[in-house]
Amino acid sequence: MRAKPFNPTQNQIPKSIKEENLIKAIETSGYPLQGVVASKLLKSGFHVTEEWGFRNRDNNETRNLDLAAYRSVQHDSWTTVGPSVSLLIECKKSIHPYIFFRAVAPQDVSWFPYVAGLPHGGITIVQELDGVRSLHRLLSGAQSFGLDQLPFVVVGPDVCAAFSRAEASGDRVILSGSDPFNAVIMPLANASDHALHIYGYRPNSDRVYPRLLISVAVLDAPMLLVESPAQSSHPVLTPWVRVTRQEPNLDQFAEGRFRHYGVDVVHVDFFDTFIESHVLPFANEFGKRAIQLGAGPMINGGRLPNVDAWDWNQISEFKQ
């Protein structure tokens, strides 16, 4: 075992632990993978925080996510809008394959991804009829900027509602769904809720800082996709899927009865392509649209020429 020149003689590995077993344990843990992913993000211009702290919504305890990465997009000091993108990341290394099951029913992902920093969680469309102002609807952040129509969302990867990890048990292979779900999806869902809170709009400010929140699970493990029940005997290797999760919304004052989460699961050897060819073009387009829209509709509400048929660039600030 290597040692620093100033290492004291008492700082040694105990004889009860074999060096090769210790090295193997280190290599199979998530920490080396976490460093690999952090290095890739730094090269792509992100600011990276390792062991990003957040509060668990179930018991309010402090937990840590492997990585959080931040990058400003389309910065323009002359505008009142400062768009950015944040990646919330969990890293998992395993010799056991992960099996993803493509959703059979069509999935509504018009809410994906979440955008933090908006005064009302989105843009409120305000109408005025006979001098009476009414709030017609609240557009999600994704809808407000037309993100739900961009390739990252519409084309994107296969959307899955379930996944498992395959583990050998003698001559059999057992699929476990609860462990990977609790280790991958739930920490990212909790971290997403925390990020929406801490990156919220600052009251009484004339500037808005909309921030894309993209949850990512980076796997150093085989990834297979079952494309349909009829093709369960023919899984296909894939480096990128999107796992969605729906939960009841327990906040009686919140908009909507359900809360949705989306996690992009990416193989580590596809991560560079995922960032450079998919995330950054998507984030840059979001930044352009946020600046074009301006802070007015986000703070004061928006107006549409036709509330039944519209596009994001038709939203204008509601003014009396």
**Whole-prediction pTM value?**
0.87
Tell me what pLDDT residue 56 has. 80
Would 75 be classed as within a structural domain? yes
Tell me what pLDDT residue 47 has. 97
Return averaged pLDDT per consecutive 10 residues of the chain, 320 residues in all: 82 84 72 91 96 82 92 79 96 91 88 92 80 76 93 93 84 77 89 92 86 96 92 92 84 64 95 97 96 92 85 87
Tell me what pLDDT residue 204 has. 76
Contact 101, 242 (CB under 8 A): no
What domain range is 177 assigned to?
Answer: 27-118+153-279
Would 147 be classed as within a structural domain? no
Would 10 be classed as within a structural domain? no
Would 66 be classed as within a structural domain? yes
Tell me what pLDDT residue 253 has. 46
Kindly give the residue spans of alpha helices, DSSP state H, lying in the chain. 19-28, 31-43, 141-144, 151-154, 178-180, 186-198, 271-273, 280-293, 295-300
Would 215 be classed as within a structural domain? yes
Q: Is the dihedral of CA 170, 175, 178, 184 positive or negative?
A: positive
Would 134 be classed as within a structural domain? no
Would 130 be classed as within a structural domain? no
Q: Quote the distance between the C-alpha of residue 83 and its chain's center.
A: 16
Closest listed residue to residue 282, CA positions, set 156, 168, 164: 156
Would 11 be classed as within a structural domain? no
Q: What span, in angstroms and rounded, lies between the C-alpha atoms of 297 and 287? A: 15
Work out how many domains the chain is built from and give that number. 1
Tell me what pLDDT residue 62 has. 86
Closest listed residue to residue 294, CA positions, set 211, 208, 226: 208
Tell me what pLDDT residue 254 has. 52
Structure tokens at 126: 């305000």
Query: Beta-strand (E) ranges in 235-320?
Result: 236-237, 240-248, 258-267, 302-303, 316-317
